[in-house]
Amino acid sequence: MLKIGEISLNNRIIAAPMAGVTDKANRIMARSFGCAMTCSEMISDMGLIYGQKKTQAIADTEGEERPVSLQIFGSHPERMAQAAQIVEKLGADIIDINMGCPTPKIIKNGEGCALMLDLPRSRDILRSVVQGVKIPVTIKMRGGWEDGSKTFLELAGIAEQEGVKAIALHARSRMQFYSGQADWGLIKELKQASSLPIIGNGDIWSAEDAVKMLEITSCDAIMIGRAAMGNPFIFREAVELVEKGIKMPSPTVEERIQAAIRHLELACHFKGEQVAVREMRKHFSWYIKGWPGAAKIRVLINSAQTQTELIQAIRGCAENWVSDLAPALDL
């Protein structure tokens, strides 16, 4: 059983934090399909310190299955420590520090992956946060700023010295963003160099990929991100194959529809129908990816104003699916 500090995880599959995606409704969906832990969208240290309502909503974990990690970002040690104390009080089980976000608006403030260019500052942040809270602290980082960089090894050493309890490594450089192929060799190298639990991340598109990463890198856990957008079933599939050697059948069309509707209902409950419908349009587009007629249905999804209209749109896409399959199935 994997442990992060004193927190035990019941399997080796973890849902990755993703800005604009892993809100409360998304995390509940992920846990319902079996992953061992979820993590929030990245949360601004200053938003927490100033008590911004939007930021506090992102940090809300009430009623969620445990453990839940809350990810914070910033560039000032004292502010990051203060933010960590706030999310600890809000109920976080683990605090994750974002040292891997590649987006320009984060980088320009010296946050996210920019911290990998300033290791002394990174050390100060880690020390301040670890000393400021009682719960485990983890970090999520990339291989480095550019291809061929070994900064991840240096930062991992600092993290271990400062009391960090686990490291998630997205095996790409900042300059790659999400292009090209993740270099799982970096994860293997980090696992060999560090005594901390190492969580591998990058290009896990199937349960089979999760098994391969574990075999190739010997990492302690797998973190799944983009492949779970509109596809929470991947968590169930990965857990069953990794932990039990059982290959799960692909979800049926109806199972996908029901998952999308459940996701929408949760979002409406937490955010109200107007906000939820607007935010769930992208999720519904992900749920129907690859279906016959999906492009046309996305037009309806993106114009939907109500919960009912969104559900009608995805039902319409399913009807196209069945209609297109009918000749082959002799229906």
DSSP secondary-structure letter at 44? Answer: E
pTM: predicted TM-score of the whole model, two decimal places: 0.94
**Angstrom distance (rounded) from CA 190 to CA 198:** 8
> How many domains is the chain built from?
2
Q: Are residues 239 and 257 in the same domain?
A: no
| Residues designated as active site | 101
The mean of the pLDDT values for the chain is 94
User: Distance of CA 95 to CAs 71, 123, 283, Å?
Assistant: 6, 16, 26
CATH code of residue 140? 3.20.20.70
Q: Are residues 229 and 279 in the same domain?
A: no
Listed in order, strand segments (DSSP E) in 187-262 are 198-201, 221-224
Q: Are residues 82 and 179 in the same domain?
A: yes
| Least confident among 239-248, 263-272, 289-298, 321-330 | 321-330
Q: Are residues 85 and 53 in the same domain?
A: yes
Beta carbons of 69 and 5 less than 8 angstroms apart: no
* Boundary of a domain, candidates 197, 224, 244: 244
Confidence band, pLDDT 50/70/90 cuts, at residue 249 = very high
Name the more confident of 37 and 294: 37
Whether residue 327 has pLDDT greater than 60: no
Q: Are residues 258 and 232 in the same domain?
A: no
What pLDDT is stored for residue 149 in this prediction? Answer: 87
Q: Are residues 25 and 133 in the same domain?
A: yes
| Least confident among 113-117, 160-164, 267-271, 312-316 | 312-316
Q: What is the mean pLDDT of residues 48-73?
A: 95
* Domain extent for 58: 2-244
Q: Are residues 278 and 226 in the same domain?
A: no
Q: Are residues 230 and 261 in the same domain?
A: no
**Over the stretch 61-117, which tens digit does the pLDDT of each residue have?**
999 999 999 999 999 999 999 999 999 999 999 999 999 999 999 999 999 999 999
Beta carbons of 206 and 224 less than 8 angstroms apart: no
What are phi and psi for residue 35, nearest 5 degrees? -65, 155
What pLDDT is stored for residue 318 in this prediction? Answer: 67
Confidence band, pLDDT 50/70/90 cuts, at residue 296 = confident
Whether residue 319 has pLDDT greater than 80: no
Q: Are residues 9 and 75 in the same domain?
A: yes
Whether residue 329 has pLDDT greater than 50: no
Confidence band, pLDDT 50/70/90 cuts, at residue 176 = very high
Whether residue 32 has pLDDT greater than 60: yes
Whether residue 328 has pLDDT greater than 60: no
Q: What is the mean pLDDT of residues 141-146?
A: 95
What pLDDT is stored for residue 315 in this prediction? Answer: 87
Q: Are residues 273 and 226 in the same domain?
A: no
CATH code of residue 261? 1.10.1200.80
Whether residue 276 has pLDDT greater than 50: yes
Residue 193: closest CA among 219, 212, 214: 219
What pLDDT is stored for residue 325 in this prediction? Answer: 41
What pLDDT is stored for residue 321 in this prediction? Answer: 55
Phi-psi region of 197 (alpha: psi -120 to 50; beta: other; left: phi over 0): beta
Confidence band, pLDDT 50/70/90 cuts, at residue 331 = very low
User: Distance of CA 232 to CAs 26, 80, 238, 244, 312, Å?
Assistant: 9, 31, 10, 19, 21
What pLDDT is stored for residue 228 in this prediction? Answer: 98
Strand partners, 99: 141
Q: Are residues 220 and 316 in the same domain?
A: no
What pLDDT is stored for residue 320 in this prediction? Answer: 61
**Over the stretch 191-216, which tens digit does the pLDDT of each residue have?**
999 999 999 999 999 999 999 999 99
* Boundary of a domain, candidates 213, 244, 275: 244
* Boundary of a domain, candidates 244, 268, 291: 244
Q: Are residues 205 and 324 in the same domain?
A: no
User: Distance of CA 182 to CAs 52, 56, 123, 178, Å?
Assistant: 36, 33, 26, 8
Residue 124: closest CA among 159, 166, 168, 176: 159
